[in-house]
């Protein structure tokens, strides 16, 4: 047998072992070649009378991450080609055949007549876990690193190789739907409890246990292929079914606002599939899968959340001619909210950390914050006591700058005050010298001007984290005018070590993410003054796809901070630079009513002792008109929320603040949760086309004001029929 991606051997008991171990890849993924070879293995096992059955295992440190998503992108391109050349019917047929190949292959394995068992260690996700579900027996290593799951929903897809049908025949319908909707990765004991695997065992024994299933005469028949099989929740059309399905539909609506076709397709596939025998059920699933695979939401999400994110994670903008920086020890000045967060993730990822503050007490406070974060992980079972000990041992907290000696990078996160920042940088440089790279976590001060306070501005860069640091996935790396390649490479290497996603941004007021998100918050404030009921503002924003309403978000960030930024903007850029409605709202809540947001228990919301919150009734005093909610145009409100952010992103691209549409897209989803189903701020514009977007901006500008006016760049693109991806990444697109 001629195999490249598997090793195949047969033991004296007649049990075959297929070890999946793709050459030149650190992780196994499902590719067309892997499918071909798996088919060969099935055929061989079936044809050889000496082979009783087969164990599938992995030769890598993990099982597999699932299908190669670029293969799916390729399928979409093939569809477009076939559509042009052969017409819709032929294109649809070809696409359907392409999209269900894996499903048919797994069904062939399941019904081949000989038993297949699988030994899983490390992550086993997506299409790889669907392979496991088709095997007759599943053994999972009982360790921290081993997890199974079907995370397809996270990139706008759903498990289309039998996953929806097998899971809903193993678990109660409600649990199955949750598992499919959430895309969570689950640990061995939970997987065993949910009956998703048959057995858990120490890693060293999993192959033997899987083999034992075959040697002991394990059946080559899935439970659902046994006559009179009953699904765990019984029939769809039954009193139990009627308890489940209306609720499931309501939960779907509540969680997605109907923005995610893949989630709806899961409901369809399970609901329809459970009423059919397995083969027809799989066909139903395949039809939904082909439909979703061609949806613009899946294309946008795969591009931004998988392909582009991976490219940025690997350092798409790292200067090629700077060698590895080999970071081992990092200095952080300012052990407050942000500094402690950065210290935590740095130590968590193996770096030695020196945490400096004004005095020992303040530095110790930072350590206490870190202790709390890691202790919470330990109590949730995500880390061990030994992990905590080794993490804490990597941290030195002091007020003595001499401890910075030997640091490969120093980052300051002291008060947002130019003089304080200049002072701490100078003191640190006296110890480590001017050749060590310095970074600032400032959120508002221009990096170029901060760099001027150092001896070598080329070694100075912005590394802007989002709060809470341990949760937020994005980091903005900001280039000052004189920032050099070594500083950029060092910053990107650091971001890679701490497992965040970087976007590289040129110096500008608010950098990128805050510029866009502040527009979102402002739109909510303007609506308040217009007289839109506050509850409607919050709900419609979520209907547009934002994770939280603008008033809630503003409360979390702090209203007094917003008021300070507004005043600073006015001082720097003049009277006309701030929106009068926004000024009115912030003056009213902050100055006149002392409401600062969640931090003092009162903002746009009242925060109650029992942990709940409710909109502050006093907000009604802000409304200039009393609008009847029934007369408000919900679609237009949704557009206002998304367009105000997208047009700001377009301005940032026009000004050269962001130069790569992938960064704007990924940054907008990871940084501030911009409606993920759109693929991000730029994909939102490209998705509707520059012409339609400009027309929409003009319409909104005529009705609501110049804040919606598009930049000249967009008008030029509209006239030429260009897209951002076409204009800014022509080579990539042609590839």
Binding residues for ligand NAD, per CB under 6 A? 333-339, 356-358, 362, 413-416, 420, 423-424, 441-443, 464-465, 467
Q: Which is nearer to ligand NAD, 229 or 415 (CB)?
A: 415
Rounded Cα distance between 214 and 209, Å, is 9
CB within 8 A of 386, min separation 6: which ones? none
- The separation between CA 651 and the C-alpha centre of its own chain, rounded to angstroms, equals 25
Beta-strand relationship, 409-412 and 437-440: parallel
Write down the least CB distance from residue 514 to ligand NAD, Å.
Answer: 9
Q: Which is nearer to ligand NAD, 223 or 336 (CB)?
A: 336
Write down the least CB distance from residue 349 to ligand NAD, Å.
Answer: 19
Whether the ω angle into residue 496 lies within 30 degrees of 0, i.e. cis, is: no
Write down the least CB distance from residue 597 to ligand NAD, Å.
Answer: 12
**What 3-state DSSP class applies to 445?**
coil
Q: Which is nearer to ligand NAD, 468 or 730 (CB)?
A: 468
Write down the least CB distance from residue 440 to ligand NAD, Å.
Answer: 7
Q: Which is nearer to ligand NAD, 504 or 717 (CB)?
A: 504
Q: Which is nearer to ligand NAD, 172 or 399 (CB)?
A: 399
Rounded Cα distance between 604 and 232, Å, is 46
Q: Which is nearer to ligand NAD, 443 or 644 (CB)?
A: 443
Instruction: Tell me the torsion sign for CA atoms 625, 628, 629, 632.
Output: negative
Contact indicator for 235, 271 with CB cutoff of 8 Å: no
Contact indicator for 120, 197 with CB cutoff of 8 Å: yes
Contact indicator for 479, 506 with CB cutoff of 8 Å: yes
Write down the least CB distance from residue 467 to ligand NAD, Å.
Answer: 3
Q: Which is nearer to ligand NAD, 36 or 423 (CB)?
A: 423
- Residues recorded for the chain: 735
Write down the least CB distance from residue 642 to ligand NAD, Å.
Answer: 24
Give the burial class of 181: count Cβ atoms within 10 A of its Cβ; 0-12 exposed, 13-18 middle, 19 or more buried. buried
Write down the least CB distance from residue 359 to ligand NAD, Å.
Answer: 8
Residues linked to residue 674 through DSSP beta bridges, in sequence order: none
Q: Which is nearer to ligand NAD, 295 or 440 (CB)?
A: 440
Q: Which is nearer to ligand NAD, 333 or 646 (CB)?
A: 333
Rounded Cα distance between 311 and 322, Å, is 18
Write down the least CB distance from residue 501 to ligand NAD, Å.
Answer: 16
Write down the least CB distance from residue 424 to ligand NAD, Å.
Answer: 5
Write down the least CB distance from residue 557 to ligand NAD, Å.
Answer: 7
Token pair listed for 284: 């139903």
Closest CA to 675 of 638, 729, 635: 638
Write down the least CB distance from residue 657 to ligand NAD, Å.
Answer: 17
Rounded Cα distance between 313 and 308, Å, is 8
Token pair listed for 361: 């007490």
Select the residue whose beta carbon is closest to ligand NAD and give its number: 336
Query: Cβ–Cβ contacts within 10 Å for residue 721, how many?
Result: 10
Contact indicator for 503, 495 with CB cutoff of 8 Å: no
Q: Which is nearer to ligand NAD, 339 or 484 (CB)?
A: 339
Render the burial of 128-143: b for 16+ CB within 10 Å, e for the rest.
Answer: bbbbbbbbbbbbbbbe
Rounded Cα distance between 135 and 121, Å, is 15
Q: Which is nearer to ligand NAD, 367 or 488 (CB)?
A: 367
Contact indicator for 545, 642 with CB cutoff of 8 Å: yes
Contact indicator for 508, 657 with CB cutoff of 8 Å: yes
């Amino acid at each position: 047998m001629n195999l490249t991606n598997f090793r195949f051997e047969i033991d004296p008991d007649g049990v075959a072992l297929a070890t999946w171990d793709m050459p030149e890849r650190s992780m196994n993924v499902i590719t067309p070649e892997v499918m071909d070879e798996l088919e060969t293995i099935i055929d061989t096992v079936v044809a050889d009378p000496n082979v009783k059955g087969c164990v599938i295992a992995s030769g890598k440190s993990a099982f597999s991450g699932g299908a190669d998503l670029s293969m799916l992108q390729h399928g979409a391109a093939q569809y477009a080609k076939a559509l042009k050349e052969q017409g819709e019917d032929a294109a649809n047929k070809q696409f359907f055949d392409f999209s269900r190949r894996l499903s048919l292959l797994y069904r062939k394995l399941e019904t081949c007549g000989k038993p297949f068992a699988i030994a899983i260690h490390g992550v086993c996700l997506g299409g790889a876990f669907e392979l496991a579900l088709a095997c007759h027996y599943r053994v999972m290593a009982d360790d921290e690193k081993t997890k199974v799951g079907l995370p397809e929903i996270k990139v706008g897809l759903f498990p289309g190789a039998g996953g929806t049908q097998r899971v809903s025949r193993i678990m109660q319908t409600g649990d199955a739907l949750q598992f499919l909707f959430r895309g969570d990765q689950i640990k061995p004991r939970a997987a065993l409890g949910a009956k998703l695997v048959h057995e858990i065992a120490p890693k060293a024994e999993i192959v033997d246990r899987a083999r034992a299933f075959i040697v002991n005469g394990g059946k080559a028949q899935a439970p659902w292929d046994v006559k009179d099989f009953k699904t765990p929740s019984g029939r769809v059309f039954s009193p139990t079914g009627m308890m489940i399905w209306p609720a499931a539909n309501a939960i779907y609506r509540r969680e997605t606002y109907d923005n995610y076709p893949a989630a709806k397709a899961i409901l369809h596939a399970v609901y329809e599939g459970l009423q059919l025998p397995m083969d027809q059920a799989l066909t139903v699933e395949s039809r939904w899968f082909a439909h979703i695979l061609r949806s613009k939401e899946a294309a946008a999400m795969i591009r931004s959340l998988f392909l582009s994110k991976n490219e940025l994670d690997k350092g798409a903008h790292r200067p090629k001619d700077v060698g590895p920086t080999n970071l081992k020890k990092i200095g952080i000045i300012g052990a407050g909210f942000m500094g402690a967060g950065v210290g935590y993730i740095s130590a968590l990822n193996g770096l030695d950390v020196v945490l400096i503050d004004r005095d020992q007490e303040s530095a110790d406070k930072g350590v206490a914050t870190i202790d709390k974060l890691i202790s919470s992980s330990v109590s949730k079972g995500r880390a061990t006591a030994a992990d905590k000990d080794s993490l804490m041992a990597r941290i030195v907290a002091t007020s003595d700058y001499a401890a910075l000696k030997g640091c490969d990078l120093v980052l300051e996160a002291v008060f947002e005050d130019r003089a304080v920042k200049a002072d701490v940088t100078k003191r640190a440089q006296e110890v480590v010298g001017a050749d060590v790279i310095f970074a600032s976590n400032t959120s508002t001060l221009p990096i170029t001007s901060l760099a001027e306070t150092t001896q070598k501005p080329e070694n100075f860069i912005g590394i802007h984290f989002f709060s809470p640091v341990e949760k937020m996935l994005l980091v903005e790396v900001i280039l000052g005018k004189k920032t050099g390649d070594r500083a950029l490479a060092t910053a990107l290497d650091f971001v890679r070590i701490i497992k965040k996603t970087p976007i590289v941004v040129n110096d500008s007021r608010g950098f990128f993410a805050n510029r866009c998100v502040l527009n979102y918050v402002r739109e909510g404030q303007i609506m308040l003054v217009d007289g839109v009921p506050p509850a409607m503002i919050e709900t419609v924003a979520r209907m547009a796809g934002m994770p939280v309403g603008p008033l809630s978000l503003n409360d979390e960030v702090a209203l007094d901070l917003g008021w300070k930024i507004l005043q600073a903007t006015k001082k720097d850029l003049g009277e006309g630079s701030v929106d009068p409605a926004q000024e009115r709202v912030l003056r009213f809540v902050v100055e006149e009513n002392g409401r600062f947001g969640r931090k003092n228990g009162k903002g746009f919301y009242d925060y109650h002792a029992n942990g709940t919150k409710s909109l502050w009734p006093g907000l009604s005093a802000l409304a200039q008109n009393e609008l009847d909610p029934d007369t408000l145009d919900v679609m237009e409100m949704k557009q206002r929320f998304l367009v105000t952010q997208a047009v700001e992103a377009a301005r940032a691209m026009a000004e050269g603040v962001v130069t790569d549409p992938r960064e704007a897209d990924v940054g907008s989803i990871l940084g501030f949760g911009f409606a993920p189903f759109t693929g991000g701020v730029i994909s939102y514009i490209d998705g509707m086309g520059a012409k339609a977007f400009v027309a929409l901006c003009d319409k909104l500008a005529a009705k609501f004001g110049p804040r919606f006016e598009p930049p000249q760049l967009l008008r030029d693109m509209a006239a030429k029929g260009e897209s951002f991806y076409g204009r800014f990444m022509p080579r990539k697109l042609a590839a």
